[in-house]
């Protein structure tokens, strides 16, 4: 089956985006992994599916697959590209687009300066909802890895995140430690691992080892989770610039009971066709 797609990215976190409204698309794990290959496939961190909604109050259904073929609950950078894609493909003329995700919904707003704002909803902090094995909710948990104890935060933005504080992101053991934490037994659905360096109360640097994709140039849900973790630790103010390898995201969070807002770019690189 020949399928049209767009290759897009949000700060270098790259996506294959498929219109599954106008096209019949059936994916399985092997197909996603084959398409993700950067030598023999299209190559991407995640594959995003644009589907008709299953809920009457939503405009679209938003589905996300990691490069390893796993279907996951959310992708922040992908949400901005989703909004750009449906506008460019004339699947919607709205400036505010409501999308349903595996665990909730998100509101995508196309801004006049070509940036996109995403209302990511409230962070989830109850361990059982993240999911993370812990007696009770806390701002800081102690996690043992290969005999060494680390202080971490655990936050869900729909997808699970573990956030560590580091003195220098450039020197952080992102691959070694990221790989170990991603599959830690206390995260039964695996986890995205963020390494955060706090520069000031309104500026952080962040690198993320993503579940199912490895280190990416940027992670939108990771940026949200890092700001939530930093605020819960009393280290950050409401508005934070998150500096990632691929560029800057603006994140704001008033605190518990409020949604996290993320603003950043979305770029279309090319359009293509591929046999599934
Ligand atoms: N790897 C993530 C999904 C993609 C998240 C990231 N690309 C973003 O921008 O939020 C997970 O398994 O939960």
For residue 136, count CB atoms less than 10 angstroms from its CB and return exposed for 0-12, middle for 13-18, buried for 19 or more: exposed
Q: Ligand 1 centre from 218 Cα, in Å?
A: 9
Q: Ligand 1 centre from 93 Cα, in Å?
A: 27
Residue ranges for the binding site for substrate?
Answer: 13, 46, 66, 76-77, 159, 192, 210-211, 220-221
Confidence at residue 130, expressed as pLDDT on a 0 to 100 scale: 98
ipTM (interface predicted TM): 0.98
- Residue nearest atom 11 in ligand 1 by C-alpha distance: 211
| Beta bridge partner(s), residue 98 | 107
Average pLDDT score over the chain: 98
Output DSSP code: residue 90: T
Residue 181 — pLDDT band, cuts 50, 70, 90? Answer: very high
Residue 39 — pLDDT band, cuts 50, 70, 90? Answer: very high
Q: Does the C-beta of 197 come closer than 6 Å to ligand 1?
A: no
Distance CA 197, CA 253 (A): 18
Mutate to test the pocket of ligand 1, among 74, 106, 120, 121 (most ligand atoms within 8 A of CB): 74
Confidence at residue 177, expressed as pLDDT on a 0 to 100 scale: 98
Instruction: Verify whether residue 219 is a known catalytic residue.
Output: yes
- Span 117-124, average pLDDT: 98
Residue 115 — pLDDT band, cuts 50, 70, 90? Answer: very high
- Asked whether the beta carbons of 235 and 28 are under 8 A apart, the reply is no
Instruction: Verify whether residue 162 is a known catalytic residue.
Output: no
pLDDT at 129 over 90: yes
Q: Does the C-beta of 210 come closer than 6 Å to ligand 1?
A: yes
- Span 31-55, average pLDDT: 98
Place of tokens 């950067």: 38
- What domains are defined for the chain? 2-118+265-275 (3.10.310.10), 127-258 (3.10.310.10)
Confidence at residue 267, expressed as pLDDT on a 0 to 100 scale: 98
Percentage with pLDDT > 90 across the chain: 99
Q: Ligand 1 centre from 175 Cα, in Å?
A: 16
Confidence at residue 38, expressed as pLDDT on a 0 to 100 scale: 97
pTM: 0.98
Place of tokens 């995205």: 192
Confidence at residue 92, expressed as pLDDT on a 0 to 100 scale: 97
Give ∠ CA 88-92-98 in degrees, rounded to 5.
115
Place of tokens 């197909």: 31
Mutate to test the pocket of ligand 1, among 66, 69, 209 (most ligand atoms within 8 A of CB): 66
- Asked whether the beta carbons of 134 and 191 are under 8 A apart, the reply is no
Residue 1 — pLDDT band, cuts 50, 70, 90? Answer: confident
Place of tokens 């939108």: 220
Confidence at residue 226, expressed as pLDDT on a 0 to 100 scale: 98
Confidence at residue 191, expressed as pLDDT on a 0 to 100 scale: 98
- Span 202-217, average pLDDT: 98
Q: Does the C-beta of 219 come closer than 6 Å to ligand 1?
A: yes
pLDDT in tens, 67-91: 999 999 999 999 999 999 999 999 9
Q: Ligand 1 centre from 74 Cα, in Å?
A: 6
Convert 213-241 to b/e letters by CB count within 10 Å (16 or more is b): bbbbbbbbbbbbbbbbbbbbbebbeeebb
- Span 95-99, average pLDDT: 98
Confidence at residue 239, expressed as pLDDT on a 0 to 100 scale: 98
Distance CA 71, CA 84 (A): 22
- Asked whether the beta carbons of 225 and 194 are under 8 A apart, the reply is yes
Mutate to test the pocket of ligand 1, among 8, 155, 211, 247 (most ligand atoms within 8 A of CB): 211
For the CA of 79, the closest atom of ligand 1 is 9
Confidence at residue 172, expressed as pLDDT on a 0 to 100 scale: 98
The one catalytic residue in 75, 81, 162, 224 is 75
Which residues have C-beta within 8 Å of that of residue 75, sequence separation ≥ 6? 15, 46, 48, 64, 159, 220, 221
Confidence at residue 167, expressed as pLDDT on a 0 to 100 scale: 98
Confidence at residue 114, expressed as pLDDT on a 0 to 100 scale: 93
């Amino acid at each position: 089956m020949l399928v049209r797609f767009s290759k897009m990215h949000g700060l270098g976190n790259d996506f294959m985006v498929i219109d599954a409204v106008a096209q019949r698309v059936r994916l399985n794990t092997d197909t996603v992994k084959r398409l993700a290959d950067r030598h023999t496939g299209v190559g991407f961190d995640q594959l995003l599916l644009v589907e008709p909604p299953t809920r009457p109050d939503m405009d679209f259904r938003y589905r996300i697959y990691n490069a390893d073929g796993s279907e996951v609950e959310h992708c922040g950078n992908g949400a901005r590209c989703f909004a750009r894609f449906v506008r460019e493909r004339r699947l919607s003329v709205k400036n505010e687009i409501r999308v349903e995700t595996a665990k909730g919904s998100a509101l995508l707003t196309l801004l006049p300066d070509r940036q996109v704002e995403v209302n990511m909803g409230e962070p989830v902090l109850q361990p059982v909802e993240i999911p993370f094995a812990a007696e009770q909710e806390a701002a800081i948990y102690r996690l043992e890895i290969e005999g060494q104890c680390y202080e971490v935060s655990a936050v869900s933005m729909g997808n699970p995140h573990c956030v560590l504080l580091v003195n220098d992101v450039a020197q952080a053991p992102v691959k070694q430690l990221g790989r170990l934490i991603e599959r830690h037994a206390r995260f039964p659905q695996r986890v995205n691992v963020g390494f955060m360096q706090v520069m000031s109360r309104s500026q952080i640097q962040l690198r993320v080892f993503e579940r199912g994709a490895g280190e990416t140039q940027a992670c939108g849900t990771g940026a949200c989770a890092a700001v939530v973790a930093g605020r819960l630790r009393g280290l950050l103010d409401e508005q934070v610039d998150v500096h990632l390898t691929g560029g800057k995201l603006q994140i704001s969070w008033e605190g518990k009971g409020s949604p996290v807002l993320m603003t950043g770019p979305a770029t279309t690189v090319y359009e293509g066709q591929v046999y599934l």
